[in-house]
Amino acid sequence: MGKWVLEDNGICNRPGQIANLPAGKVFVFPKEGSMNGTIVIDGSWEGILLEEPLSLKIEKGMVVNISGGQIANQIEESFEMAKAGIRSSKKDLIWTVAEFGFGMNPKANELVGNRVEDLVLRGGAYFGFGDNTHLGGSARVGIHQRGTIRTPEVLLEETTIISEGKVSAR
């Protein structure tokens, strides 16, 4: 997948350190150009609770197709608008699969339509798309949006981390 970068635990005890509140997620910077398949986002997109799932087809770490009703059209429009502000050599990077994480906050037990809180849903997962430079990547494209998955299956090597939305690894 990539290198596990950070846990967001809410502790800020050094100068310059930042955290999200509510905290409680673990996330990774996917290896650029390595992902292929389909990601189904069925929870929320940037804090908007989804009425129907989004389906994102991924080839070589890039979204090549998105479907899922009106919200899919709005997402495409926002990413296309973001292309206008970046140089030609970077335009193809706008659809980078930039981040993958899963929620660990024991108090977050349902999606509520809040962008930060939905990402820490215990037993949920999310993907981020667009700019990945905050995690050490090369896609400096000026847009980064995330979508959540309600009940994912997350395996690390052969260890099940999340199954049917329940955290099983300790």
Using CA atoms, how far apart are residues 119 and 101, in angstroms rounded to an integer?
8
pLDDT tens-digit series, residues 26-77: 888 889 999 999 999 999 999 999 999 999 999 999 999 999 999 999 999 9
pLDDT tens-digit series, residues 86-106: 988 888 899 999 999 989 888
Torsion angle of alpha carbons 71, 100, 59, 158, nearest 10°?
-130
| Count of CA atoms in the C-beta half-sphere (13 A) of 16 | 0
- DSSP annotation of 11: -
Task: Give every CB contact of residue 73 below 8 A, 6+ residues apart in sequence.
Answer: none
Q: Which amino acid type is present at position 122? A: R
